[in-house]
Chains A and B, each alone.
Chain A
Amino acid sequence: MKNTMAGMASISLPLPLRARLSILCCGGGGGSMIHGFGRAFSSSSSSSSSSSSASGSPTTMHAAINSAITHAMSEDPTTLVFGEDVAFGGVFRATTHLREKFGPRRAFNTPLSENGIVGFGIGVAIAGHRAIAEVQFADYIFTAMDQIVNEAAKCRYRSGAQFPAGGLTIRAPYGAVGHGGHYHSQSPEAYFCHTPGLRVVMPRNPYDAKGLLLASIRCDDPVIFLEPKALYRTAVSDNVPTEAYEVPLGKAEVVREGNDVTLVAWGAQVHVAEQAADALREERGATVEVVDLRSLLPWDAETVCQSVSKTGRLVVTHEAPITAGFGAEIVAEVTNACFTRLESPPERVCGMDTPFPLYGESLYVPTKLRVLEAMKRVLDF
């Protein structure tokens, strides 16, 4: 399952990705072609979660992830990091310098085998050590599905808590990147959210990426940590502390408060949601409460339901296909818990029920404009 795009993002051969991202980075006209990541690239990329003071230069997503792994490996000598091409720093540079700092026994390449990587990580975790396994693209995690769903997720339960695999964290880059086609674009979170025993976590910016990843590694449950690859180099937080900190798992964040619509998203899609919220305020003067779910399993229904109880309206947006996507779970729970508070049917703005296409990606993904239209529909109902 060798991917063909891995090298593009490496130091030596980043041109196609960089070229494409640089178009996106320009914002303005270019930004509209790929569902509006433009804002995400600015240093003001939302991270209102952090009340802490800025302590360092602007930090990219991959540097924040590298920092979290460095803290984890420093504080627990059993922690290992491994996967395909991890030793030289990783195809997205998230594991740079770890081999020099911690040695080849703790930061190493594996053979090209995702079921092997995850199975190996489970064994490390059963031994009571900590394993940070990397799957090069979330699109290639399916080879390891059996190890994740039948093994990692069930180790604690089936053994009566004798042999948990809680020390395992699986990192994988996910999501649209502008030109990833079928196998460098997928958002597989819903597959994992149907699996009791797993935690599923997706950060939207460098601040959360570091805090959530450190919390995931320290957590005694197995975690699937999906990183928005489009933001590795482009999203910048200028408030990432150099020291270790955690962003709590299972807690959503109200990214911006509003009274008229609740808009739920996660990962890179939060930035699209924020742009749609801005546009709605400009057009209608309506205020949108944007909620970043951050953890999908277990998810923070309380925060979402509180918000919908206030606004009476719900729109959920995610890149993954709509049918049986995680948006369905949110809409079902909210409809049940907030039935008497709802002023209109909840809406979902998602990817299509097709494989992720190469040409016409901007028609496939849930753009700012589509989210905006959905919010107008729930307001006008």
Chain B
Amino acid sequence: SSSSSSSSNDPLSAALPVRANYTTQRRAGYAGGKFIAPVMQVLRLTDEQGNPVEESGEDVLDGSVFPDANTAVKLYKTMARLQVMDAIFYEAQRQARFSFYMTSAGEEATVVASAAALHDEDVIYAQYREQGALMWRGYTCQDFADQCYSNERDPNKGRQMPIHYGDKHKNFVTISSPLGTQLPQAVGHAYALRMEDDGLVASRRLDVSDDAAGEQHRRVVACYFGEGAASEGDFHAALNMSATLDTPVVFLCRNNGWAISTPAWPEQYKGDGIAGRGGSYGVRSIRVDGNDAVAVYVAVSQARAEAAETGTPRLLELMTYRRGHHSTSDDSTRYRGKASEIAREPVGRFAAYLKGLGWWSDDEDEEWRAECRAEAIDALREGESVSKPPISGLFEDVYKDMPWNISRQLDETLAHAKRFPEEVPHGVPLH
């Protein structure tokens, strides 16, 4: 009798709910007394200095992994602008100009390069450290500042904490604080998009400005989350549902090594990261160097195309490092060394790659960063000066129409505010 699965060519009956060969191995997952954990490798196309790694291919050497030089330069300029804005907005929060902020330091490539690989009509569900995707889609420092200041130009009408961005016209679904909740939602949204793109129902696409050519692209939903959020039950639900229900979702995990103070390994998981879980759900998965913008762009482009074409999910684990504190409420030196000591910097690395191609220069870099700095500072000044939404805005949009109890509470609050105008926060109109 055979003693290993490899020698058996007698797969279990198709009537059984698994497809496997027989084995006489009695200690599954063990061999020679050692636990066998298949480890996925990390896709990398440029090295730490931004040089194409050997055997990365002709298209990396000549930059033709990108549709054109402008796209690659726009990708770099967006990452640099995000870096500059983060530094200035972080300081603004330290000065108590608004209540909260989270930077993307170290993760600029995971978010911006992945967003660049998506189509603008793809819907994005994010966690909170993905403002780079909105910036790629055209958000200015002013748009970000307006949200952080909860002023009347914030599309969320000032109701959520800073960095909880959302914009219907950018196909970017409003962020919420509870971790992982967006994962099964992304699956449901992708199911609905697929119904539309299969022609089963009329399109209800969120972005009103369709392609001028009227060309119908098949869309995907991109869903970002951190490796900590992947421990939530919603991750399990989403991966399983995306596979069983055939939904075109591209799951983008930013594995930056830390969930606040909790190190990913061995306190978040003991398995092979997040990508290592994909296969067990029947979801094709890949692990990528998240600080290599070229690799992220290439891997996400391919995953996006496959998901759109097949209507099935893909999982990408983008390995990176959270260089900044978790948030403005966190001092990361209390649980780890100074992140700046760790030489992993995706923005300069991509700049070096572009310079190697002759598409970018130090002079251009200096000029661009000065421009971004001025833009961010102006945005803060203006965002601060814009009026807040009115008192009535606190009571609207709970339901589509205001029910009697909330209407009564609005009246009571307005009457109270008129009796005690000093109780009304600065900048909030009294109506």
Q: List chain A positions with a Cβ less than 8 A from chain B.
A: 77-78, 80, 105, 108, 110-111, 113, 115-116, 118-129, 131, 143, 146-147, 150-151, 154-164, 166, 196-197, 199, 220-221, 250, 298, 301-302
Contact = CB atoms under 8 A, between A and B. Distances in A.
Given A127-B189, A128-B204, A154-B176, A115 B237 contact: yes
B236 A113 contact: yes
16 contacts: A111-B237, A111-B240, A113-B236, A115-B237, A119-B187, A126-B173, A128-B192, A129-B192, A146-B178, A159-B155, A160-B154, A160-B155, A160-B166, A160-B174, A162-B155, A162-B166
Contact of A151 (B178, B193, B236): B178
Interface string B188-216: 11111101000011101010000000000
A128 B193 CA distance: 10
Interface in B357-392: none
A122 B206 CA distance: 15
Interface stretch (B31-39, B41-49, B289-297, B398-406): B398-406
Given A105-B200, A110-B245, A302 B397 contact: no
Interface of B: 123, 125, 154-157, 159-160, 164, 166-168, 173-174, 176, 178, 181, 183-193, 195, 200-202, 204, 206, 221, 233-234, 236-238, 240-241, 244-245, 396-400, 403-406
B241 A116 contact: yes
Closest 6 CB pairs of A and B: A123-B188, A119-B184, A116-B237, A127-B192, A160-B157, A298-B403
Given A110-B241, A123-B192, A128-B206, A116 B200 contact: no
A161 to B, nearest CB: 5
B245 A158 contact: no
Given A110-B245, A111-B240, A298-B403, A120 B181 contact: no
B399 A119 contact: no
Contacts of A118: 184
A162 B183 contact: no
Nearest to B192: A127
Contacts of A163: 166, 168, 173-174
- The secondary structure that dominates the B interface is mixed
Nearest to B399: A221
A276 B186 CA distance: 49
B277 to A, nearest CB: 15
Contacts of A157: 159, 397-398
Given A115-B237, A160-B157, A123 B189 contact: yes
Nearest to B123: A127
Given A105-B195, A116-B237, A197-B398, A162 B174 contact: yes
Contacts of B236: 113
Q: Which of B154, B174, B399 counts the most chain A CB atoms within 10 A?
A: B399
B219 to A, nearest CB: 10
Given A78-B195, A118-B184, A156-B398, 17 more contacts: A110-B245, A113-B236, A116-B238, A119-B183, A119-B237, A123-B184, A123-B191, A123-B192, A124-B191, A129-B195, A146-B181, A147-B234, A150-B178, A156-B400, A157-B398, A160-B155, A163-B166
